Each structure stands twice: as C-alpha cells, then as structure tokens.
Structure 1
Amino acid sequence: GKPAMLLALALQLQAASCLYQTPHGTSMAGLRLPPFAPLRGGSAKEEPQVEQHAASEARRYQKRLTRSYSMSSVTPTAADPIHLEQMLYSEDFDMHVLTTKKEKEIEIKITSVRGAKLIQEQGGQLVLHWAVKKEEDDSWVRPPKKMLPQGTNYRYGKDSVHSNFYINEEGRAEVKLTVPDELAPRKIRFIPFHMCEGKESTKFWFKNSGEGDFEAYVCPDEWKCQIQGKCTDKEKNFFTKWFSKPRQPSAEVLEVSESSREPSPPREEPWHWTQKSAEVCEPFKLKLQRSPSEEKRIEEAAKRAAEMKKVLDRRRDDREYVKLSVMMPLDAHKWQLSSLERRFKRLKNAGVHGVMCDIWWGLVEQQPKKYDFSFYRSMAEAAQRQGLEIEFVMSFHKCGGNVGDNVYIPLPKWILSHAHKAGLSSVFYTDRWGFSNDEYISGAADTTPLVDGRSPVEMYADFMQAFVDNFLDLFHIVISKVQIGLGPAGELRYPSFPLSKWCYPGAGSFQCYDRSMREGWEKHCRNELKKSVWAHKMPDDGGYNADPQNNHFWSSEIHSDYGKAFMSWYSNALIQHGERVLKRASSIFAPLGVEISGKIAGLHWLYKTSHHGAECAAGYYNTNNQDCYSNIARMLRSCGATFDFTCMEIKTGRDDCPPYYSDPEALVWQAKRAAEGNGIKLAGENALTVDEWEAYDMILKKASFLDSFCFLRWRESMVNEGDDFLKFVKYLGRVKRPRIKQT
C-alpha cells in the first residue's frame, strides 16, 4: 500500500546516503547523484535489493570517477594569485596554477566535478580560486555557491581542457598537504599544473627562477620522455633520469641551476623503480623553453654585460703623479654651462687634472625613484670636451649648516615629510636636549623601511644605480672615481658640532638620542654587555661648548668601564653604518672598475688631550689605547674604498695651547699610518680656505704619501697670473704618487 511504498523509499534514500562514500571516508554530497529507477511496491523484502543497488552504484562511481595523483614540490616564495595570473598571460601561458609558500606534498582527489580552473594559494587558511566553463558557448561563469570554499575569489580566462577537483561533504575541495622532509630545493619559483581524466596526459609545468621555463607533459601509463629545445647536458641528464622511470604518478622537483652542484639522489620508496632509457613518446615530453619576458630579461642582461665589458676595457691606472682636482662651488648647479666650460678651460690650462662636484640628493630625486641627472650629465660632457676628469660626490646630506656652506639644499621633501609624520627623532640624529639634526638620516636607521618600504641604504643604492645607468658610457673616459657621502658634510661622522649650536674649540655633543640609537644601545647593554643597569644611562657631556676639563665624563668617566663600553659601541655603530653604505656602493661600482672613496673628518682640536673630546663626540674613539682611524681604514679596505682625509693644509703650532690643544700634523700622520698599515690609498683635502703660501707648502710636504688631492674650492682669482695656486699646481705636478703595499 501507500505507507509501505513511502517506507521503502525512505529506506532506499537512507541506504544511499550512508553508502555513497569516497575511498577516504568523505561524503559525495557535493556531487550530483544518479537517479534510481522507481521501485514498485514497498514491502520489506525489497530492502536487500535497494541496498545492493545503492552499493553497486557507489562502487561504480568510485571506480570510474576517482583517481589519485600526487606531486611533491617546493616553492621558497609565492607570488599572489593576481600576479601569477598576469605573469601567465604575459608569458602566453594559460593553465591551472598551484603555488605553496612552504614545502608541501600536494595530493588532489579527482572526481567527476568538471570544468573548473583551480588556483590555490597556501598561506595560513587555504584559499581556492575557481572559474567554471560552460561547454555549449565556451564562456566562463561563476560556479554554484555550494561548490565554493569560503573566501573564494573569481578569476576569468580561457582554457580548452578542464581540471577536476574533489568536493567534500562541506562543499569544499579535498586537498591534502603534508611536508616531505627529504625535499630541499631552493630555486623553484612556482609550479603550475594541469590534470586531466581518462587517457589524456597529466601536465606538469615547472618554472625555475633562473634562466628558463621547464615544461613537462606526463603520461601515467608510459614514463618516457623527449627533451626539446636548448638545455645543458646536466639539465638533460637530470630530467631524463627523473622522468624516464615507471612509477606512481608523482614528480619530485630538485634544484636545477647554473651551479656545479649535482642533484640529490632519489629517496628510497617502498616500491622498486626500473631504469629505462629516454625514448620519444608524444604524450610525455619534456620541453625547455623561455617565455617572452624571460627572453627580454636575458637579452637586456647580455647587452648590459657587453657595455660593462667595454667600460672595464677602457680602465687605465697608469698615472705616475699625484692627481689634483678642484672642488666646484656648492651652487655649481645654478651656473650656465657656457660659463662652467670657460672655467674648465682655465683650469685645464693651469695644469689641473680634474674637477670634483656634489650631486645633491635633494635636487636629483625630488620624487621617489624619479631621478634627474641632466645638469650633471651636461657638466661631465663639458669637462670631457676640455680634457678634464670629473669626480662626483654622492651627497646624501643637506647643504647648509657647516663651515663654508653658503647655499641651502635640503634633503628630498618626501624624506622630510615622512620624518615630520613619523617624528624627527625616529629618522634623524638627536641630542640629549631633543634637537634632531635634519642634515643626514641617522645611520642607526639604515635598514629601517621609511618611504614606500625602502630603507635609507636601499634609497642610496637606488640613487647610485640610477647614476651608473645615466653615466655608464662616460666611465673611464671622464669619470674614474666617485666619493660616497656617509654623513654630515659627506663625512663619516656624527653631526656633533652643528654651527648653529657649536663654536670652536668645543668638544661637541653625543648624537645618540634618536629612537634607533637608543634601541641599539639598550640591546647592546642587555645582550652583549650583560649590563641592564646601563641600558638607560647616557653620558653627560656637558653640552656642545662645555669645558671638557671641568666635565665629569670627559675628565674621568670616559676612562671607566662604562665610558669604554659606551665609546666602543658609539664608534662601532658609526663604522658599521659606513660599511653598510660602502658595501652597497662597491657592489654597484666595483664591477665597472670605478674607484670609490669615503671621507673622514680631520678633527684636530682637543687632539692633545687624554679624552680626545672632539673626535669621540663625532664617533672617532681615539683614546684608551684605541685607534679609530685604523678601524676605519680596515673597514674601507673590506669595501675596496680609498681613505679620504681632510685638514691637510693646517700646521701645528698656532692652536696647540689651551683651550684648543690642536695638533693637525700628528692627526694626519696617524691617518697616514692607518691607511698605509691596511694597504689602501690615502687621498687628501684642505678643510678651510687656503689663501697663503704657508698652507700650500704644508700640503706639498704631505703630498708624497697622497694618491690624489682635492683643492677646496674654486674661486675666480685662483687661476689669475701671480696667484700662489698656479705655483702650487706646478710643484704638485712633480710629486710621484706612492706605491701601495698590499697587506
């Protein structure tokens, strides 16, 4: 009767829901189940028939629709899905993409759910991106909501073959992730893949982050391969070995790079692999090909390598005598080129070897990563026409606030804007009274992202790279040396004596109160010194113009354990800043054979005291049996840089009494020993204006150990007949440059 029929139908549905399980115990509820034939009657005798029919249907669906593929892969970093898809389009690839951010073994269960494009991003929660294709009009539509995992994004595109995925009882894809400990490749960027049903091949595509794209078509029945395109013997042997073996449908990705390291041996599996030689088999082939973007990148790299070789071939260092350059005025960028070239001609006629000029960061990069070197390019070409060399200074500091500064050129406005928003003390050196000096970014913040995620060191490197790109054809024709700005006035030091707060011969004040310096000192006290009690203690230097003899720190505490520990950290922080910047500069200029230099300030006052206050406040720890200049020279040697020192013109005797305690000649001699002891070149500059022969004569006496000398700075009268400068040029031109003893 009717109740019996309803009871039989209920039992039939209950049995079907219980028995329609996947091999892994998950329900097939997300799939469309085949309709059962209507049953006549409803007696209990029909229940075994219903159960057998349901079980048979489940087994048939499991056998026909479920297939398991797995692949082991590693990606060190993963681009986001949008980036990946744009990358695929730009490289004329349109395929199903899978990417993981960690070492994973991905196993995907294939079922009858068809027409889906899968892009997986593994980062915390698993996110799957889908787009379903309609067979009849070849268009892409959004799949039903019940098929999609939470947080799904849609991606549209065209594709002629469909991937398949498994939908579990919650309507989500069934994806298993496990970590294979044996895998350790590091060069695979991402691994797109393409899986098909039936006898069609399963397609794997491996993109290497090095020279090209590795594409593999895999046939589960016959594991044979054919290698097409250009590849090295090592790559050919690698792929032949790994893809020419009958095995379970899996692929283990090992590192393939230009290095000489051989691939790791295969890990042992519970089954045995039979070796087979590589044979031609159309369903399974391995092809090495380069995408258009990769071809363009390689072409540009080859072109640049050829240009760099031309630059290196032009390099000559056979100069016999000390090179003399003249520093151009701070406002040279305001001059007309015709006026500038006339002055170049006069200098050339006077016997000068070249000129030196600041390239101001605040003028060239007025917008982040937008550089305008046009004036400086014209200046270099003008110098070339007159037969002069030109040495540019990468001036990452503000102009204005130092001795001789008659021009105001601030740091880029976008740097200052960020500093005002973030707080000046988080960007610039700060003294104990809270005054932040905007002349130069704190060296302790070198690696801290400031604007658009770029740190100061990265900004300097980008600037120098842009300079190289703009002047590449002039290297070793008119440009053979570049000075790298490392601090206030371009010198490797702290801004301890700003003219607005200091007067000669004050010791100056420590610049260690900005956020980065404070954090650095606190960390140093806790981790290195194991002295937490010192973490918040800073030295009381008495102020910029205090009398050091009457100050507790300068007169005694600097020689205590605390004073020695603080001064060592303070000085080392400065040297480490110089090393960070010069290392980046060396990586840019050294491949071109261009010499780089770093300028060290000649702080000669208070030199004859036990505390060396002026030097110590500026970061030169030159007391307590410490030789800061030797430490700096060692750092310069490691960076391949020349030691550029100032105050070559000052004679000892005038200010050697209290309160000056000056001894510039002894200071220069110490710098000379430091450079000589570390086997690096020593270049010189005058610190103040030279207007009498005594100063010229002092420079000539020291010229014998100088590789080059830069005269500060251009003035109209210097090339007039009868001026002492012409006589100085004549005498210096006879001084032979010293031989550098390599240590």
Structure 2
Amino acid sequence: MAENGGVACKCYSERRSYCFREIRFGSRKTRRNFKTLPMIPLFKTGLYRCGSFAGSCCILSMDYREKARSTILESTKQKRIPIFVMMPVDVFGIDTSGLPKIRKMKALTMSLKALKLAGVHGIAVEVWWGIVERYAPFSYNWSLYEELFKLISDSGFKLHISLSFHSSIVSCNRKGGVSLPLWIMEIGYLNRDIYYRDQNGLSNNDYLTLGVDRIPLFCGRTALQCYEDFMFSFLNKFQSLMGHVIEEISVGLGPSGELRYPAHPSGDNRWRFPGIGEFQCYDKYMMEDLKSAACEEGKPEWGDDGPQNAGCYNSLPSEVPFFEEGGENFLSDYGRFFLEWYSGKLISHADAILAKAANMLRRYRNNGPNSVLLVAKIGGIYWWYQMDSHPAELTAGYYNTSLRDGYDPLASMLSRYGAALHVSCLEMIDSETPSAYLCSPEGLLQQVSVHSNLVKLLSCLTM
C-alpha cells in the first residue's frame, strides 16, 4: 500500500477457531462486489477492509443502503471476515502544555457508536514513538493510549496495534502528522546521517537509517535498543489487554511502517510516479558498511560509492544503464554484489527487530483464541514489475528480478518467528494500471503468495 498505513486481520468461524483466507480479484465482476460504506467524517480517511491469504474465495461487500444490519462479511464457505477501521492520525494532537491529547473526543465517541451499530469488529490504532517517548529518552507517556484503548474496548471493539517508529509528516504530506521523538530530531539536527540519504546527500526525518541500528548514538543506545525498549514498555503497560482485546501487533520496520528504503519519497516532491526511485545508502554509516563488505569481497573499489549509472528518482528504466543491458548493470558481478548487500541489510534489519518482538510476545502466541499475531509490512512496488530488472523494487530494497525471487529470503526470515506478512495493493488489477509503465500488481501478489507455505500472507484494502 505505498504510503498509506493499514492493518491485517484475522478471519474466524463461528467457533472462534482462526484461519486465514485469500481475496482474489481476477475479474471486474469481483471488484463490482465492493460498494461504499457510510462513514462519518472523522473516519472517512481511515477505513480499511481487510483480508488474508490461504484459500480461494470471494467477498461480498456491505450494501451502503443497509443501515442497522450486521456487516460481518460472509464468504462462500460461510467463514466470516471481520471489518476493522483505521484510526486517523489527526485524532492525535499536542495541547498548549505540550502534552499529547485526543482531539474531537465527542465526535470520536459518536463515531465508535455508529461503527458498532454498523457491525465493525475492531479498530486499528497506530502507536507512535513520536508521541509516547516524545521529549526525553526512557520518558514514556502512555496516558493518551490508555484513554483511547479504554474508550475503544469499552465500546466493544477489538484492537489491532501498529507500533510506528516512523514519521507521518513527510510520507503523508498532511497536517496533523506525527514526527519522530523530539529528542531524536535534536540529534538529527547535528547529525543528518542518522537518516537515509540519497546520492545527492538529501534526506528526510521520516525514519532512522538502518545504518545506525547498532551504533550507540541515541543517549548511549543504538536504534535497535530504542525500538526494543519501546516495545517492552508497551507490553508492560498493556499486558492486561493482550490476547482478548489486542489481537495483533504490527511492528514498524521502515518508512510508513513498511520494510523498505525510502526510494520513492512522495511527500517532498523529489519523486513522482512512475519514476524508478533512487538507492538510499549514502549516509556515512551505510557507506562505511558498504566499504567493509567490499573489502571482504576482495573488491575494495566497489565500496567507494553506490551505482553511478542508476539514474535519478524520476528516470525511466530505458534511460538508465544499470537497469538495462551494458557494463556494470544489475546482472554484472558488481551489480549482484551491491544488490545482495543492499537488500541483505534490509532483511537483517527486520530480522533483528522481529526477533526482539517475537521474544517479548512468546507468552501471548499460543495459537489459541486469545493469541496475538505478529505482523511485518512490505510495500507494494508494482510499477516496472514486468521488466527483467524490476528497477522500482530494486531501489526500494527488494532484490527481485526475472532471474531471482527477492521475496523468498524475506518469507524465510519471517517464518522463523511465525510472523505474518502484510502485503498491499491487493485491490489493484493489471488492466487498471498504465500499460506503458509495465505495471503488474497481480503478478506481484501472485509471486508473493507462492510463499504462503512459509508465512501467513495478509493484505488490506483502502477505501
């Protein structure tokens, strides 16, 4: 789902035994089943209809003309798919005293009542690092979420939680966004290399570069330790809700919570669709790691820089030698070395964070009716998918080409922790994408679904 947030969902039968379902969009007829859900304005930008992969079925939508009828969707196999609504980010704000607050409380309460009457099963909430640990390291203020979770649970809803270690300001380009913690940004004012950089040295403060995962730059802590401490504090605070109210925890792994590099930054006008994007490895910490990897390979010259023939954000692949035929392209010895390093760093980043999350959640993951699902999210990079080089995926960190399955190592890593993979762009079909840009969201989803024997595959649709 590119830049928008989202959640995955569990499907359950009347016995409350959990299973995972597949949503297929093989024809326009299937898509016509989806209709509009009436929403009051507070939730208008945040409604999600969710599903997951495991077997073939179709979904019948709610009819917007039906008012008081239950909206639990029934599949052809009589399994029910619950609906979750995403809490808009502008619900959260900072009051004049600098404390976090819930905006429009009266409207929010009315919205929850309306959603309950409509048959909505649960609410998906982003838990922002930039709100909870806003002012100082180890100074966690959970008061906003204590109030919000009580309101949601008292209204009879379940919770899907997204632990968000990114900013929503640049990626969403909207008012009311949430920044990284202020004390992190103070460090960033003095050292811009804590963020990802492109080949021109440009960066944004959307997410910390994975180059600082193991470097103690944050008041004596590494980035990984900051994420771990935040997750521990969350579980300690809300352990009484785990399982019976909180059904799922998605752990943020990059920009917009997705495991990827910010190769296609739409919020600051550097990139626009269908540009191939740019590699994001030019902060000094990533470059030091690249140089070390090149020396280990016996090719120290390969560590001096990233690819010099890879174009820029809005290049088309036909203009770029690295993604076409020629010397030192993506198939060359250098190209394979760089792409293995670049994608490998991303998977190692996810591996380290999910290992900590899985360890903390192990007591809540018994696969029973009150278990908690651990989820990781990836971006749906579907443009230029029909090219041999898959250039937009390569710049985002997915080493996926016509000759290499880039999602296999990712699925293998997730399987070690029993984590589900949340994929996006499920609602898209090839015939509704620009053919000139060789898009194939259906091809991407089909490829990812091959790994369902290793990992549960989940997806969601934005309204």
Alpha-carbon distance in 2 for matches of 1:476, 1:609: 44
Equivalent residues in 2 for 1:252-267, closer than 5 Å: none
The correspondence for 1:322, drawn from 76, 81, 104, is 81
Q: Is the 8 A contact 1:337 1:378 kept in 2?
A: no
Q: Deviations over 1:513-546 (max 9, x none)?
A: 111211111111111x211221214213211001
Please tell me whether the aligned partners of residues 383 and 478 of structure 1 are also in contact (alpha carbons under 8 angstroms): no
Q: Which residue of 2 aligns with 1:571?
A: 343
Residue 131 (structure 2) aligned to one of 363, 388, 397:
363
Matching residue's letter, 1:479: I
Residue 504 to residue 336, structure 1, CA distance change in 2 (3 Å)? same
Q: Does 1:622 align with 2:404?
A: no
User: Which has the bigger relative contact order, CA under 8 A and spacing at least 6?
Assistant: 2
Unmatched 5+ stretches in structure 2: 1-15, 20-78, 93-101, 366-371
Choose the corresponding residue for 2:457, options 682, 685, 691. Answer: 682
CA gap of 1:583–1:657, structure 2 versus 1, over 3 A, is: same
Larger Rg: 1
Structure 1 residue 345 displacement after superposition: 2.2
Provide the residue aligned with 2:438 in structure 1: 661
User: Deviation of residue 403 (structure 1)?
Assistant: 4.8
How far residue 671 of structure 1 moved from its aligned partner, in angstroms, is 1.5
In the alignment, is residue 532 of structure 1 matched against residue 300 of structure 2? yes
C-alpha separation between the residues in 1 aligned to 2:210 and 2:82?
A: 32
Amino acid at match of 2:374: I
Identity of aligned residues (%): 35
Shift of the alpha carbon at 1:324? 2.7
Equivalent-residue separation in structure 1 for 2:288 and 2:242 (angstroms): 41
Describe the shift of the 1:673–1:321 C-alpha distance in structure 2 as closer, same or farther (beyond 3 A): farther
**SS of 1:331's equivalent?**
helix
CA distance change for structure 1 residues 336 and 408 in 2, over 3 Å: closer, same or farther?
Answer: closer
**What does residue 52 of structure 2 align with?**
none
SS of structure 1 residue aligned to 2:238: helix
2:158 is the alignment partner of 1:381? no
Deviations 1:456-515 (A, max 9, x none): 111111111111111111112211211100000000000001112000000100001111
TM-score, normalising length from structure 1? Answer: 0.48
| TM-score, normalisation: structure 2 | 0.76
User: Are positions 1:606 and 2:381 aligned together?
Assistant: no
1:640 and 2:432 correspond = no
Supply the RMSD in Å over aligned alpha carbons: 1.7
Equivalent residue number for residue 209 of structure 2: 442
Deviations along 1:178-203, one digit per CA (max 9) or x if unpaired, are xxxxxxxxxxxxxxxxxxxxxxxxxx
Distance 1:317 1:455 in 2: 40
The answer as to 2:449 corresponding to 1:672 is yes
Q: Aligned runs of 1:79-228 on 2, under 5 Å? A: none
2:293 matches 1:521: no
1:351 equivalent to 2:107? Answer no
SS in 1 for 2:113: helix
| 3-state SS of paired residue (1:393) | strand
Deviations 1:358-382 (A, max 9, x none): 1111111021111111121222112
1:399 aligns with 2:176: no
- For residue 462 of structure 1, what is the aligned residue in structure 2? 229
Q: Deviations over 1:590-620 (max 9, x none)?
A: 2222321110101111111111111110001
Residues 314-368 of structure 1: CA distance to partner in whole angstroms, max 9, x if unpaired? xx75475334312111112243444323222222222222111111111110211
**Whole-Å Cα distance in 2 between the matches of residues 351 and 669 of structure 1?**
31
SS of the residue corresponding to residue 628 of structure 1 reads coil
Number of residue pairs matched?
A: 367
Q: Which residue of 1 aligns with 2:241?
A: 474
String of CA shifts for 1:60-113, please: whole Å, max 9, x gaps.
xxxxxxxxxxxxxxxxxxxxxxxxxxxxxxxxxxxxxxxxxxxxxxxxxxxxxx
CA contact 2:90–2:177 (8 Å) conserved in 1? no
SS at 2:330 equivalent:
helix
In structure 2, distance between residues paired with 1:493 and 1:573:
10
Give distance in 2, aligned partners of 1:524 and 1:318.
Answer: 44
How far apart in 2 are the matches of 1:479 and 1:581?
20
Whether the 8 Å CA contact 1:429–1:441 is kept in 2: the answer is yes
- Residue 444 of structure 1 contacts residue 516 of structure 1 at CA under 8 Å; is this kept in 2? yes
Q: Distance in 2 between matches of 1:562 and 1:318?
A: 46
Counterparts of 1:629 and 1:317, CA distance in 2: 29
Distance 1:563 1:491 in 2: 25
Q: How far is 1:405 from its partner?
A: 4.4
